[in-house]
Structure 1
């Protein structure tokens, strides 16, 4: 009867050794930081390539004929003058030479455009080209040294429910990050007359607010899959982004010297597609 007892004792000893071995403290190289999620990694990789954009536009404003009269605006009187007004948006760097993508409506009719980087530096930007129908524009800043650029992903294989990250300047809160999912694809935007103004959009529940326009919508790898462009003002958590493949298709056209507003561009950008994302913009 002793033999089974010895075997059982040996098995218990082996189990005890295995348990102790499995609970061995991790070394420094094996430690896992549960706080450093893929979202944190993606934001860290792209933060310096996301910019805030301030556009100064001339808008019509009615001037009161009565000084400091709080009720004059109830009446259709007073002189209408054009005064400068600043609007806010976002953008992201696609080339180290300082080429930046944003929405056309962010810089439309702007007299001056200023770009603010993550380290709070501000530089004037010039409009290289824009496409009102696609609601996309390319700006250029002269920085003097290479700038960090984002990686362009592929929006042809988006999955409903996959996580996304929106980065931008909502309501002036610089480099705000929000997260959500791809809620739907191939959405349309219509104006008040039911005319389609944008098609093939990504719908997301990531928080997008005024000022996010032109900023990147990232996937879990930190690749740009969309350009945030609009929200439903009468709803919650319904935002829209232009698919990045639309930008990829337009890059050669936007950088064509025949399309640009300033013809002293030293380079022409092209986008080299690869079998696997991400892709890069080259000159």
Structure 2
């Protein structure tokens, strides 16, 4: 997965959004997991079950601690397998082999496959939803940036999102994660510009913020699930022919 971010941790608009930039509370959880992994040398070593005897806490040529790199690699492996096989098709054996990790250590940190996948999902969406483009003085421009970011995320991770939605039918925790990390976070991102537009007098105070924000992402998601094109033309059509008409005075 491609990772792009701005210095302030928000996605780079017009580019593929990051899968891990870190919100404060979740960053603490990720750091704790990374510390736990670093305490066990058998995770993500050069070969399954063979300890890594490096004494340096940081990987060669990187300012990041080895534990963070290992955890990020494990997350990437889990999500790639889920995207390729679906949740039901992923096994701990497959994760351990692909990540060059010890099954014993994986079970020590995550007692079940479901817990490991859920943790990977939490980390993958950490900071992935669009940030706030700021007050640009134009509701259309602010919404355009957010929708382009969402479209890029869906194009890049279509198979993974389909697999997670499918798995969520059998795992209510995964479904709750998907609901929070997609619908709720995107709704919040879309409503902030509309609230500013109301304050500027650009749109009326009677604008139904929930209606507008509930329509935007499902339209893009539906196209992604049908493997249809989600390009700038589609974003413009959604923006100009639907959303801006809903908020017009």
State the TM bucket, normalised to the shorter chain: under 0.3
TM-score under structure 1 length normalisation = 0.23
Please give the TM-score of this superposition, normalised by the length of structure 2: 0.25
Which structure exhibits the higher relative contact order, with contacts defined as CA atoms closer than 8 Å and separated by 6 or more residues? 2
| Structure that is richer in strand per residue | 1
Structure with the greater alpha carbon radius of gyration = 1
Q: Flag the structure with higher helix content.
A: 2
